Amino acid sequence: MDLLDNLALGFSTALLLENVVYCFIGVLLGTMVGVLPGIGPTATVAMLLPITFNFEPVTALIMLAGIYYGAQYGGSTTAILINLPGESSAAVTALDGHEMARQGRAGAALAAAAIGSFVAGTVATVVLAVAAPPLARVALQFGPAEYFSLVLFGLIVSIALARGSTLKALAMIALGVLLGTVGQDLYTGEPRFTFDQRELYGGIDFVSVAVGMFGVAEILRNLENEAGRTALVSTVRNLWPTREDRRRIVAPIARGTVLGSALGVLPGGGHVLASFTSYAVEKRVSKRQQEFGHGAIEGVAGPESANNAAAQTSFIPLLTLGLPAHPVMALMVGAFIVHGITPGPNVIADEPALFWGLIASMWIGNVLLVLLNLPLIGIWVRMLRIPYQVLFPMIILFAAIGTYSLGFNAFDVYAIVFFGLLGYVLIKCGCEPAPLLLGFVLGPLIEENLRRAMIISRGDATVFLTRPLSAVLLALAAGALVLAVLPAIRKRREVVFTEDD
């Protein structure tokens, strides 16, 4: 069979000692920069790109890809341990993961994330090997109208990220979307809400928002009652998931993997939707809905699997069509070009060893990540024993350095201050930050696609309903909104009834 021959070629390439070594260096660096706030995979890949000019092309791409998915792994560690997400997907992991850490179950959370990611990565690699070209064709059916509807659906779904009031969650989502409009308008180049500061032309950086609303706000809350609190974590209970935990994560991992693999294929923003759609699904199907937000292991396992699966399948448009879906992949296109390979649909046929070697290396990379991360869990958990008086200055300093290093832009650091204070006040008022963060990430996508769809349809707004895929997604969004609002109304009625009695 062709597939077996191809995989054999892939593994024979990926298992060359040199390639395994650079794959390891890639995932190791990825994990490190994922753990540190700020410096993300994009900056790292950009920094290392020139070094890879001297490598074999396949080795270079294996390492760069390793940095990308390694960072997806590392990001969850910081989110779980200190509630500091570096990417939107990690913000989802932080919700229940950090709660688990506070309850002394950081080990179980980290292990669930690692196992989920590994399973998802393995399945997604198979998907990539078996069905990449047809899936890429499907993805191309998604035009601006479909992306608008998809992202709107995603925004509604993210109400599920909040524990409390639906109204406040909606307001936080909308506020996030609004903050996402700061910066130069894509369509006219006009700077919006930038107060004539050229540093703001590129918009507010996600890392500033996340570090402020999660990291700084969390620290301020911890410092409210210092007398009553000595350590961040009560006691570390079991390091590994219990039998009960293991039973509970099986289905979320499976669902998350399927969901992530599917969404990851869409180059226009499917990847960012993966983890929190999975969270919303888990919360809805769970019999223990009240546990979500208070340390439900399903809320870590599902989104982490979805995220890693999506990270893997988001390579499909790049590998089969030469179309990058993420800034890291745009950099990898640069790497292709420098090595004299024209990225495009011909890569599979012209460079089979490179194509299949890269796919095989992703599975090897996932094995390496598990081998690397499981032993590290013990060390990470021990880090929680660092006295809080050492830990919080470390978080603040590293966050400031990491954020500054994004673009050597002091505004990114000032933005932390703004969002830290805003987040702190809003959290005290019962508004949770996760929906805002997702609104912030998805807002630009929704505006961009709304305006683009309107231009292409010549101002005809019915395009969102006449294109079947878009109509289905809009119907789903409407359904999700009803589902989210109904329980609140029903509860209100119950309250009214009890008072009447």
Partner 1 sequence: MKSVPDLVAGGIFVLIGGAFVVGSLSYELGTPLRMGPGAFPLLVGAIVAALGLAIAVKGLVAGEVAEFGPIPWRAIAAIVAALLFFGFTVRGLGFVPTSAVTALLTTLASKRVRLLAALAVTGGLTVAATLIFVVGLQLRIPLFGPWLGL
Partner 2 sequence: MTTPRTFRMIAAIGVLSLAAACGSNGGGGAPQAGGGAYPEQNITIVVPFSAGGPTDTVTRMIAEPMAAKLGGKIVVQNVEGAGGTVGAGEVANANPDGYTVLMHHIGMSTAPALYSNLGYKPLESFEMVGLVTEVPMTIVARKDFEPATLQDLVTYVKANSAKVTLANAGVGAASHLCGLLFQTATGVKLQEVPYKGTGPALTDLVGGQVDFMCDQTTNTSGQISAGEIKAYAVTTPERVKSLPDLPTTAEAGLPGMEVSVWHGLYVPKGTPQDVVAKLTDALKTALADQKVVDQMAKLGTAPVKAEDATPEAHKKKLEEQLGVWGKVIADAGVKAQ
E strand map for 189-298: 191-192
Contacts of residue 151, defined as CB under 8 A and 6 or more positions apart, other chains included, come to 269, 273, 442, 445, 446, 449
Q: Under the criterion CB under 8 A, does residue 324 sit at the interface with partner 2?
A: yes
Q: Under the criterion CB under 8 A, does residue 152 sit at the interface with partner 1?
A: no
Which stretches within 408-500 are classed as H helix? 410-428, 433-456, 463-466, 468-500
Candidate segments 13-21, 353-361, 409-417, 476-484, binder of partner 1 by CB under 8 A: 409-417
- Residue located via tokens 């999660």: 214
Q: Under the criterion CB under 8 A, does residue 359 sit at the interface with partner 2?
A: no
Angle at 170 between CA 82 and CA 83, to 5 degrees: 0
With CB under 8 A as the contact rule, the residue among 230, 235, 287, 340 that binds partner 2 is: 340
What type of residue sits at position 443?
G
Nearest Cα residue to 173 out of 418, 352, 434: 434
CB 232 within 8 A of CB 106: no
Nearest approach in angstroms of CB 431 to partner 1 is 5
E strand or H helix at 191, and its extent? strand 191-192
With CB under 8 A as the contact rule, the residue among 130, 164, 167, 201 that binds partner 2 is: 201
CB 178 within 8 A of CB 204: no
Contacts of residue 61, defined as CB under 8 A and 6 or more positions apart, other chains included, come to 332, 335, 336, 354, 358
Residues 153-182, mask of contacts with partner 1 (x by CB under 8 A): ------------x-xx-xx--xx-xx--x-
Q: Under the criterion CB under 8 A, does residue 454 sit at the interface with partner 1?
A: yes
Candidate segments 214-222, 234-242, 314-322, 475-483, binder of partner 2 by CB under 8 A: 314-322
Candidate segments 83-91, 261-269, 334-342, 454-462, binder of partner 1 by CB under 8 A: 454-462
Nearest approach in angstroms of CB 403 to partner 1 is 9
Instruction: Give which of partner 2, partner 1, none residue 431 binds (C-beta under 5 to 8 Å, depending on kind).
Output: partner 1
With CB under 8 A as the contact rule, the residue among 3, 8, 130, 140 that binds partner 2 is: 140
| Distance from C-alpha of 163 to C-alpha of 293, rounded to nearest angstrom | 6
Length of the chain: 501
Q: Under the criterion CB under 8 A, does residue 401 sit at the interface with partner 2?
A: no
With CB under 8 A as the contact rule, the residue among 4, 235, 287, 408 that binds partner 2 is: 408
CB 441 within 8 A of CB 89: no
With CB under 8 A as the contact rule, the residue among 1, 2, 4, 189 that binds partner 2 is: 189
Binding interface with partner 2 (CB under 8 A): 25, 28-29, 32, 45-51, 53-54, 140-144, 184, 186-191, 196, 198-199, 201-202, 267-268, 317, 321-325, 327, 329-335, 337-338, 340, 342-347, 379-380, 382-383, 386, 390, 394, 407-408, 448, 452, 455-456, 458
